[in-house]
């Protein structure tokens, strides 16, 4: 954690010892009374927290805001539903990189049960988003939307957006070579382990997508997301 985030902060605050953030402060940062750490409000301001008291039940601290955290990048990530263990990595890394919106969609080739995973039903995915933001040292977390098809996902993305789909079946320009305006807003679509179907490629064709590649190797979805978003942000002058 490069910043510790909270739903809200006041001048004086308390973290019970059962909270993992308290454990991080005590066991990882090894802080005590009088020490400071970076703190912030989710999707809000960030600043400095100072520990005012610590006993065997809680940590008390004050907070002084120093301004709003940096905004997320104008990138919408449309990604196929994959195994929950992989999706946890995708969500964390996408938020760490500053993706503005994430749309998780069922696809023709993906296992339909992935969309009903406990990860979503329990709300665990939100804690993963927060963890990604804390890794980045910023306060903003991406909005996450759910779609039952590629068509619905594209509609949820809104517009106008430069639309790019990563695909290793169609002949495509390398993403690392694409010209992208620095002030562009971009929708980047990435499929699951088995890629998109021919029917879905027809949808991308009719909805104005450009095809791009990450090379000839077949990548795991979580690898394609990290590499694809990083290359995209680089072409946008944001990384």
Q: Which of 35, 53, 68 is the last residue of a domain?
A: 68
Q: Which of 22, 37, 68 is the last residue of a domain?
A: 68
Q: What distance in Å separates the CA atoms of residue 28 and residue 17, rounded to the nearest whole number?
A: 14
Q: Which of 68, 98, 122 is the last residue of a domain?
A: 68
> 212 with 97, same domain?
yes
Is-contact 237 198, C-beta < 8 A? no
Q: What distance in Å separates the CA atoms of residue 86 and residue 6, rounded to the nearest whole number?
A: 26
Is-contact 1 40, C-beta < 8 A? no
Q: What distance in Å separates the CA atoms of residue 228 and residue 31, rounded to the nearest whole number?
A: 38
> 148 with 193, same domain?
yes
> 98 with 146, same domain?
yes
> 121 with 213, same domain?
yes
The dihedral region occupied by 162, where left means phi > 0, alpha psi between -120 and 50, and beta the remainder, is beta
Domains identified in the chain, total number:
2
CATH of the domain at 98: 3.40.1280.10
> 61 with 79, same domain?
no
> 84 with 161, same domain?
yes
pLDDT value of position 124: 92
> 115 with 41, same domain?
no
> 50 with 128, same domain?
no
pLDDT value of position 117: 92
pLDDT value of position 239: 84
pLDDT average per 10 residues of sequence, the chain (239 residues): 93 92 93 96 96 94 94 97 95 97 94 90 93 96 96 93 91 91 93 92 95 91 96 93
Count, residues in the chain? 239
pLDDT value of position 168: 82
Q: Hey, how many other C-beta atoms are within 10 angstroms of the C-beta on 36? A: 13
Range of the domain at 36: 4-68
> 41 with 81, same domain?
no
> 98 with 197, same domain?
yes
Between β-strands 143-147 and 99-105, what pairing exists: parallel, antiparallel or unpaired?
A: parallel
Is-contact 115 83, C-beta < 8 A? no
Report CA 91 to chain centroid distance, whole Å.
Answer: 5
Q: What distance in Å separates the CA atoms of residue 214 and residue 150, rounded to the nearest whole number?
A: 21
pLDDT value of position 230: 97
> 23 with 81, same domain?
no
CATH of the domain at 12: 2.40.240.20
> 102 with 59, same domain?
no
């Amino acid at each position: 954690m490069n910043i510790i985030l909270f739903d809200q902060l006041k001048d004086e605050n308390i973290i019970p010892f059962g909270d993992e953030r308290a454990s991080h402060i005590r066991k990882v940062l090894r802080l005590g009374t009088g020490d400071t750490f970076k703190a912030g409000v989710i999707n809000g301001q960030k600043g400095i927290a100072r520990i005012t008291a610590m006993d065997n039940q809680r940590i008390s601290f004050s907070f002084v805001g120093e301004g709003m955290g940096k905004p997320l990048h104008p990138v919408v990530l449309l990604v196929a539903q994959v195994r929950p263990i992989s999706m946890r990595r995708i969500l964390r890394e996408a938020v760490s990189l500053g993706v503005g919106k994430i749309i998780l969609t069922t696809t023709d080739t993906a296992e339909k049960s992935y969309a009903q995973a406990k990860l979503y039903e329990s709300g665990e995915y939100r804690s993963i988003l927060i963890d990604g933001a804390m890794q980045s040292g910023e306060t903003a977390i991406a909005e996450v939307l759910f779609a039952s098809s590629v068509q619905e996902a594209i509609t949820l993305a809104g517009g106008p957006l430069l639309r790019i789909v990563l695909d290793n079946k169609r002949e495509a320009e390398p993403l690392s070579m694409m010209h992208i305006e620095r002030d562009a807003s971009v929708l980047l679509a990435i499929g699951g382990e088995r890629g998109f179907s021919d029917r879905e490629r027809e949808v991308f064709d009719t909805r104005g997508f450009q095809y791009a590649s990450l090379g000839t190797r077949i990548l795991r979805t979580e690898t394609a997301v990290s590499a694809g978003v990083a290359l995209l942000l680089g072409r946008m002058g944001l990384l």
